[in-house]
Amino acid sequence: MRKLVVILPTYNEEKNILRLIEGIFANEKKLPNWEIHVIVVDSNSPDQTQSIVLALIEKYPKLHLLRTKKEGLGKAYVQGFTSALERLNPYLIFEMDADMSHNPKEIPHFVHKIEQGADFVIGSRYMKGGSIPKNWPIQRKIYSTAANLYVRFAFMKLRITDWTSGYRAIKSWLIKNAISQVKDYSGYVFQVALLDFAVKNKSHIEEVPIQFVDRIHGKSKINSFQYIIQTLFYVLFHSSFIKYAMVGLIGFTIDFGISYIGIEKLALQVWIATLISTEISIISNFFLNNFWSFSHKKLDHSMKSYVPNFLKFNLVSSGSIVIQTVGVQLLTMFFGRKFWYIYKVCIIAFIIIPYSYILYNKFIWKDR
């Protein structure tokens, strides 16, 4: 029989915790091949949350209480994960809100995906069949939707529809490997960091639709402004695509500068100046991308790795040279030489950047 543990971080949830725990253990009949445990990680709630949990332990011996300091959601989860791994050795660990926003009746849907081979299952509010509360203020809807879309597009992982969901089922081996990498994220951005780790380590990720409901009792603990700022900075520092775009900006500066000197100062033909400037920027981009943008899958430090991949990089990038050279030359022929720099900017932004990112990932910095 496999063992699953549901981690419930709590702070002042006396009006929700009883119904939630009863709902979780009600799944025992639906999951006869699973042994269900619950760890309540309470951050010194001044209300009756701990007293209620202690009373319930007599009825549910697989219910556990872990008392911690109030240090944020991420810290609570890390302590809950650590306790579960050390004391219970589970096969599967659930993350779940303790305010009844997540329906415990949906737990079997997550387990079914795990049994089919998934390593990480997300309860998605944004896939077909999922939903967010209709009564949410428009401001909260915008915050939630915008934050999720920002992460999806910044990480260029569009298949995952809900990066910020707090309802998840994760195999314990993945949690064990992730703890050292995510333990320093104390707030809600912890959820993004954990999923980012799973994606970069090629975990099998699936989603199930959930109907997220607003809490009836108590107050939400999330600070929306703080969460958005933390998420913004996390993505800026960890997104390969954002880094790649910044490297592209550096390459563009080099490219533009050399083109300007060649065309405006040396009176070179447009196609010659464009050819030279593009190749120099490609060389710069290769090294910056290898050591920064794609540092999590950078090339081996050997000539046997660098030389063929550098040649391959140039071969892939030759498309950029052809596209830019032909594109700029044609546009100057039809619309005049005066606005050559506008043509160049548009070609780089809308054609070269997406074209190069896709091909570099496919042929140079391939997933291992």
Q: What was the pLDDT predicted at 225?
A: 73
| Delimiting residues of CATH 3.90.550.10 domain(s) in the chain | 2-236
Other beta carbons within 10 Å of 190: 24
Q: How confident is the model at residue 63 (pLDDT cuts 50, 70, 90)?
A: very high
Instruction: Report pLDDT for 240.
Output: 86
Query: Which residue did the predictor score with more confidence, 324 or 366?
Result: 324
> Residue 321 pLDDT more than 90?
no
- 80 — pLDDT class (breaks 50, 70, 90): very high
Q: Does residue 245 carry a pLDDT above 60?
A: yes
What value does the mean pLDDT take over residues 152-170?
92
Q: Which distant-in-sequence residues (6+ apart) come within 8 Å of 250 by Cβ?
A: 284, 285, 288
Considering the entire predicted model, what is its pTM?
0.81
CA distance linking residue 270 with residue 332, whole number of Å: 9
Which of 327, 330, 321 is CA-nearest to residue 285?
Answer: 321
Superfamily of domain 2-236: Spore Coat Polysaccharide Biosynthesis Protein SpsA; Chain A (3.90.550.10)
d(CA 253, CA 200): 30
Q: What is the pLDDT of residue 236?
A: 85
90-149 pLDDT, tens per residue?
999 999 999 999 999 999 999 999 999 999 999 999 999 999 988 888 888 888 888 899
Q: Which of 62, 94, 61, 100 is nearest to 80 (CA)?
A: 94
| Rounded CA separation 120/328 (Å) | 46
Beta strands in the chain (DSSP E): 2-10, 34-42, 63-67, 92-95, 120-124, 168-171, 205-209
What is the structure's pLDDT at 368?
Answer: 57
R_g (Cα) of the chain, nearest Å = 26
342: its two tokens: 């506008």
Q: Which residue has the higher pLDDT, 292 or 34?
A: 34
- Burial of residue 49 (CB within 10 Å: 0-12, 13-18, 19+) is buried
Mean pLDDT of the chain: 90
Per the structure block, which two tokens stand in for 2? 């496999």
| Number of neighbouring beta carbons within 10 Å of residue 294 | 20
